[in-house]
Amino acid sequence: MMEKMIFGRYIPVDSPLHKMDPRAKLLTIIIFIAVVFLADNTLTYGLLAIFTLAAIWLSNIPIKFLFNGLKFLFWIILFTFFLHIFFTKEGDLLYKFGFIEIYQGGLRQGIFISLRFFFLLLVTSLLTLTTTPIEITDGIESLLKPLKKVGFPVHELSLMISIALRFIPTLMDETDKIMKAQMARGVDFSEGTIKQRAKAVVPLLIPLFINAFKRAEELATAMEARGYRGGEGRTKYRLLKWGMIDNIAILTLFILTILLLLLR
């Protein structure tokens, strides 16, 4: 049921993106998120599209799988697209039907904003698809290290993130299990009026929450039993290695940024 979801999922295949240092990936994505907003004409959007497609190609993740997994997010994009089309009233009037008026500016805005959304979604989902949760948090911890000096709890934060990421698949499995158990008791999750469907969620959510709380407590006990005492003096088993690929990635993004600034 939840099989198609690819949110927060890691796909263990071999690719240049998989080999990258998580810090480089995180930096690339942060910069990318910022520069996406620089684009404002066809050429610059084209550049972003090329970058996004290249990243997908380098990740070795089947495109069909990626798109299937993000299908339900496309509805949100479509929704924002229509919002822009119907409510931005700039430029020439293109089409008029009753109270519906579509302006050139609206169409342009709609397409651009949706594309922006689309690029952001694809690139950020590539991060979790090609990086294990542990790598991601190691990367975050390492990038935030300078903040330690001002007393920011870097280690605790990264621990929280890694626990959250770690339990996404577990919760998904459990959702699936409980859904099935309740379906066996006659619940219909896919049919009925909106009210009926909303009601059908209760027998799913309550057990899910109860189990999540129970698990959190067990985890805390297990960590304490194994002598966990926070990040002070703790060494790492996995060391991060910055390589050539990472230099290339950062350089590419640097060039992308300059091009975007020049062409906008």
Partner 1 sequence: MQIVTKDLEYVYQKGTPFEKRALFHINVTIPSHSYTAVIGHTGSGKSTLLQHLNGLLQPTGGEIRIGDLTVTSEKKGKGLKGIRQKVGIVFQFPEHQLFEETVEKDICFGPMNFGATEEEARQQAKTALKLVGLSEELLNKSPFDLSGGQMRRVAIAGVLAMNPDILVLDEPTAGLDPRGRTEIMEMFYQLYQEKGISIVLVTHSMEEASKYADSIIIMHKGTVYKKGTPKEIFSSPAELIDLGLDVPESVRFQLKLEDKIGKEIAEPSLSIDELVENIFAYIKRVNEK
Structure-block tokens of residue 148? 């330690």
Give least dist CB 78 to partner 1, A.
Answer: 23
Closest of 103, 98, 68, 61 to residue 84, by C-alpha? 103
Q: Which is nearer to partner 1, 190 or 235 (CB)?
A: 190
Query: Please, what is the minimum distance in Å from the beta carbon of residue 108 to partner 1?
Result: 36
Binding site for partner 1 (CB under 8 A): 3-4, 11, 13, 61-62, 64-65, 68, 174, 177-178, 180-188, 202-203, 206-207, 210-211
Q: Closer to partner 1 at the Cβ: 68 or 124?
A: 68
Q: Residue 10 Cβ, how far from partner 1 at the closest point, in Å? A: 11
Q: Nearer Cβ to partner 1, position 12 or 151? A: 12
Helices 42-59 + 104-130 axis angle, to 10: 20
Pick 16 or 105: Cβ nearer partner 1: 16
Chain centroid to Cα 138, Å, comes to: 17
Residue whose C-alpha is closest to residue 123's, from 228, 36, 37, 41: 36
| CA dihedral angle for residue 244, residue 253, residue 115, residue 71, rounded to 10 degrees | 20
Q: SS3 for 94?
A: strand
Nearest 5°: the CA angle 23, 58, 15 is 70
Is residue 116 a contact partner of residue 36, using CB atoms and an 8 Å limit? yes
- Taking the complex as a whole, how short is the minimal distance between the CB of residue 127 and partner 1, in angstroms? 17
Q: Which is nearer to partner 1, 28 or 59 (by Cβ)?
A: 59
Shortest Å distance, C-beta 178 to partner 1: 6
